Amino acid sequence: MGPAPIATRAKGVAVPGRTIVHGEGNDMTTENGLERRAFLKGAAVGGAASATMGGSATVLAQGTAPAAAAPAAAAAAPASPGYQYLKPDEAAFVEALVDTMIPADELSPKGTDVGINIFIDRALADGWGKGDRLYMQGPWKQGHPNQGYQLALSPAQLWRAGIEATNAHCVKTLGKAFDQLAVAQRDQVLKDFDAGRITFDNGLPARTFWTMVYQNVMEGMFADPIYGGNQDKAGWKMVGFPGVIQNNRNHVVASRNKRFEGDYTSIADMS
């Protein structure tokens, strides 16, 4: 699923301190803001029905792994029994990130209440995060963006190295780690990521990290709740996606040009 436009803290009208970020190749930024419901509907079109961590992000190749990256097996103890992969400082980063990208408003709960942080943690701890479906034998040469993911890092290692690099950037430029910044500052950091204005000192391609972050947040918002995110089916309810109904034909006819008002069905509901 390619990156779609991302609106942070927008509620249909421009609100001070609530900015808009757009995805690579999908510039939908406007002077006065973009309605968040429209943005999330657009993101849902390509993957609201996705129940797994499908597809790798479109990224640039990197010849060697950054020195900051460490194998997942060498990770310290998780932040709490609720986290399987993320360390305490990483969990704080992810929680601040998802709450900035998905704020609580009349459309949905905030990102942590939806469980996007848990979705990301579970994905990084599982086979997807370990790179089980990636060819990881090298050689690691510069590739073309349309060749897909090319780094010598598993997704979990990329997240770990990216969090460390982002916090280092924030401390260097703003004096604090990302999770300690004010909301407006975090918004600006995300806009800088999206505009390609951030370069990591450790050599990690910032655009690659941001692309994966964006993809995973969208997956956590719209994937089936069985994977930890989209709690109470909040993402589905917001965009009117009925879920994993075996036969949706009657609902399509009855709900044409109307908001879906039926039961939202998850994998767990079908078992």
Task: Evaluate whether residue 33 is within a structural domain.
Answer: no
Number of domains in the chain: 1
Instruction: Quote the pLDDT of residue 261.
Output: 76
Task: Evaluate whether residue 194 is within a structural domain.
Answer: yes
Task: Evaluate whether residue 158 is within a structural domain.
Answer: yes
Task: Evaluate whether residue 260 is within a structural domain.
Answer: no
Higher pLDDT, 21 or 191: 191
Task: Evaluate whether residue 80 is within a structural domain.
Answer: yes
Task: Evaluate whether residue 244 is within a structural domain.
Answer: no
Task: Quick: pLDDT tens for 190-208.
Answer: 999 999 999 999 899 999 9
Per-residue confidence band for 259, with pLDDT thresholds at 50, 70 and 90: confident
Task: Quick: pLDDT tens for 141-161.
Answer: 877 878 888 889 999 999 999
Task: Evaluate whether residue 45 is within a structural domain.
Answer: no
Task: Evaluate whether residue 108 is within a structural domain.
Answer: yes
Rounded CA separation 218/239 (Å): 13
Per-residue confidence band for 132, with pLDDT thresholds at 50, 70 and 90: very high
- DSSP assignments along 88-133, one per residue: HHHHHHHHHHHHHHS--SSS---HHHHTHHHHHHHHHHSHHHHTTT
Per-residue confidence band for 249, with pLDDT thresholds at 50, 70 and 90: confident
Share of the chain above pLDDT 70, in %: 69
Structural domain of 207: 57-233
